[in-house]
């Protein structure tokens, strides 16, 4: 009969990608962890982790198992955990949310108000999302993040849609482009501030512009939407940004429809499957979902 304790060991090994870190997390000696890895290799018939330079990398079989094992271990924890009810009034916990600055500006105040009203002992820690690396979610440093789910998102992650968004052009109030509609010629002739960030979904903008035989004249590049929009306030630069995602950042600015068609995209919340059964995490996800839906209805009414 297989030793089911090995599933927990395998889950930690594949999450950490290091025998030493896995040993510390499981409070085992390095030699005991090495013996456990040897047993796992024998049981699975695969080396699982192989040497690459000074570190270890997972084999294709290990990558395939990581999703299955994580789900099994979390399911076992749920089964063996005593029945419980969530008392929000006594809940004391800090949740770390990895989002863009636009999401915090637009949805943060409403989310904080809802969380504070229901669970005053809960603290929300917003951290910047500089890339689409899923390691912070996988390692437990981040509880929830928002963004577009694509090929760069780790396949084991869970996701729930929040709202549809679209790209728009933004200029300062009083900008020559603020009078009349934005034409392809105007857009092509303008000086642009663009956001350059790993994993950013803006390639389709350049593709659409090139399809019209134009090129964006890039004057400056920044790392976030807040900075891009701040620059448009005192210059004649045009920023192309997500509409709903940056609503809280665009006070006093003029928003214009783009002179070409780009499909809308879905903003989702993303979390690790080990948090599926966590009642407090479920509550947090419901708060984020509710705030996003409420704000969407308000946008439509305005």
User: CATH number of the domain that 65 lies in?
Assistant: 1.10.10.10
Q: Is residue 86 part of a domain?
A: no
> Which pLDDT score is estimated for 218?
92
Whether residue 273 sits in one domain with residue 206: no
Whether residue 259 sits in one domain with residue 171: yes
Two tokens at 298? 């308000």
Q: Is residue 36 part of a domain?
A: yes
Please identify, among 80, 107, 127, the residue that sits at the C-terminal boundary of a domain.
Answer: 80
Q: Is residue 88 part of a domain?
A: no
Whether residue 251 sits in one domain with residue 270: no
> Which pLDDT score is estimated for 7?
83
Please identify, among 24, 58, 80, the residue that sits at the C-terminal boundary of a domain.
Answer: 80
Whether residue 140 sits in one domain with residue 10: no
Helical spans, DSSP H, in the chain? 5-16, 19-26, 30-44, 60-80, 101-118, 135-139, 184-189, 203-211, 225-233, 279-301
Whether residue 248 sits in one domain with residue 173: yes
> Which pLDDT score is estimated for 1?
56
What would the pLDDT profile of 171-208 be if each residue is shown by its tens digit?
999 898 887 778 888 888 899 999 886 555 567 788 88
pLDDT band at 294 (very low <50, low <70, confident <90, very high): confident
Q: Are the CB atoms for 110 and 162 separated by under 8 Å?
A: no
**Calculated CA dihedral for residues 293, 298, 299, 302, nearest 10 degrees:** 170
> Which pLDDT score is estimated for 299?
46
Most confident range, picked from 87-91, 126-130, 198-202: 87-91
Whether residue 172 sits in one domain with residue 237: yes
Whether residue 252 sits in one domain with residue 271: no
> Which pLDDT score is estimated for 188?
86
Whether residue 28 sits in one domain with residue 64: yes
Q: What is the DSSP letter of 171?
A: E
CA separation, residue 147 to residues 82, 128, 172 (Å) = 34, 12, 27
Q: Are the CB atoms for 70 and 16 separated by under 8 Å?
A: no
Q: Are the CB atoms for 53 and 59 separated by under 8 Å?
A: no
What residues form DSSP beta bridges with 110? none
Across the chain, what does the average pLDDT equal?
85
> Which pLDDT score is estimated for 302?
40
Domain of residue 155, CATH code: 3.40.190.10
Residue 297 has pLDDT above 50, yes or no: no
Whether residue 290 sits in one domain with residue 143: yes
Two tokens at 121? 């002992």
What would the pLDDT profile of 220-251 be if each residue is shown by its tens digit?
999 888 899 999 999 999 999 999 888 888 98
Whether residue 254 sits in one domain with residue 228: yes
Number of domains in the chain: 3
What residues have CB less than 8 Å from 141, skipping those under 6 apart? 96
Can you give the residue range of the structural domain that contains 121? 93-164+266-301
What would the pLDDT profile of 251-293 be if each residue is shown by its tens digit?
899 999 998 888 888 999 999 988 988 899 999 999 999 999 8
Distance CA 15, CA 38 (A): 17
> Which pLDDT score is estimated for 121?
96
> Which pLDDT score is estimated for 298?
43
Whether residue 105 sits in one domain with residue 124: yes
Q: Is residue 203 part of a domain?
A: yes
Lowest mean pLDDT, pick from 63-67, 137-141, 144-148, 197-201: 197-201
Q: Is residue 292 part of a domain?
A: yes
> Which pLDDT score is estimated for 151?
75
Secondary structure (DSSP) of 266-294: EEEEEE-GGGTT-HHHHHHHHHHHHHHHH
Which of 281, 286, 270, 253 has its CA nearest to residue 129? 270
Residue 301 has pLDDT above 50, yes or no: no
For residue 247, the SS3 value is: helix
Distance CA 259, CA 255 (A): 13
In the block, residue with structure tokens 């600055």:
101
Which of 241, 62, 58, 267 has its CA nearest to residue 144? 267
Note every long-range contact of 16-25, with CB atoms under 8 Å and residues 24 or more positions apart, other chains counting: 16/139, 17/49, 17/55, 17/56, 17/57, 17/58, 18/55, 18/56, 19/49, 19/56
Q: Is residue 280 part of a domain?
A: yes
Which of 185, 242, 247 has its CA nearest to residue 216? 185
Please identify, among 80, 111, 141, the residue that sits at the C-terminal boundary of a domain.
Answer: 80
In the block, residue with structure tokens 């929830």:
144
What residues form DSSP beta bridges with 125? 96
> Which pLDDT score is estimated for 69?
81
Q: How far is CA 67 from the centre of its chain?
A: 19
The arithmetic mean of pLDDT across residues 210-225, rounded, is 88
Whether residue 192 sits in one domain with residue 116: no
Q: Is residue 248 part of a domain?
A: yes
For residue 127, the SS3 value is: strand
Q: Is residue 85 part of a domain?
A: no
The arithmetic mean of pLDDT across residues 143-166, rounded, is 88
């Amino acid at each position: 009969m297989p030793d089911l304790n090995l599933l927990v060991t395998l889950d930690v090994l594949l999450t950490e990608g290091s025998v030493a870190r896995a040993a510390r997390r499981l409070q085992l000696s390095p030699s005991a962890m090495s013996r456990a890895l040897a047993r796992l290799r024998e049981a699975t018939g695969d080396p699982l982790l192989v040497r690459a330079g000074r570190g270890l990398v997972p084999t294709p079989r290990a990558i395939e198992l990581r999703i299955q094992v994580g789900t099994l271990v979390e399911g076992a924890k749920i089964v063996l955990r005593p029945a419980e009810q969530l008392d929000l009034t006594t809940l004391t916990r800090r949740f770390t949310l990895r989002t863009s600055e636009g999401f915090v500006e637009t949805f943060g105040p409403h989310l904080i108000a809802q969380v504070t009203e229901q669970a005053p002992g809960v603290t929300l820690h917003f951290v910047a999302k500089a890339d689409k690396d899923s390691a912070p979610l996988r390692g437990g440093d981040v509880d929830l993040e928002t963004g577009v789910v694509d090929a760069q998102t780790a396949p084991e992650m869970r996701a729930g849609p929040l709202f549809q968004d679209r790209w728009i052009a933004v200029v300062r109030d009083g900008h020559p482009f603020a009078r009349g509609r934005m034409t392809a010629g105007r857009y092509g002739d303008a000086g642009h501030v663009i956001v350059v960030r790993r994993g950013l979904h803006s390639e389709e903008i350049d593709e659409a512009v090139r399809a019209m035989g134009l090129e964006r004249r890039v004057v400056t590049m920044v790392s976030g939407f807040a900075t891009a929009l701040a620059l448009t306030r005192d210059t004649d630069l045009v920023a192309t940004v997500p509409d709903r995602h940056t609503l809280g950042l665009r006070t006093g600015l003029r928003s214009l429809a783009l002179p070409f068609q780009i499909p809308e995209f879905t903003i989702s919340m993303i979390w690790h499957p080990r948090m599926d059964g966590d009642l407090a995490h479920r509550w947090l996800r419901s708060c984020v979902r509710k705030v996003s839906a409420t704000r969407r209805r308000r946008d439509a009414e305005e």
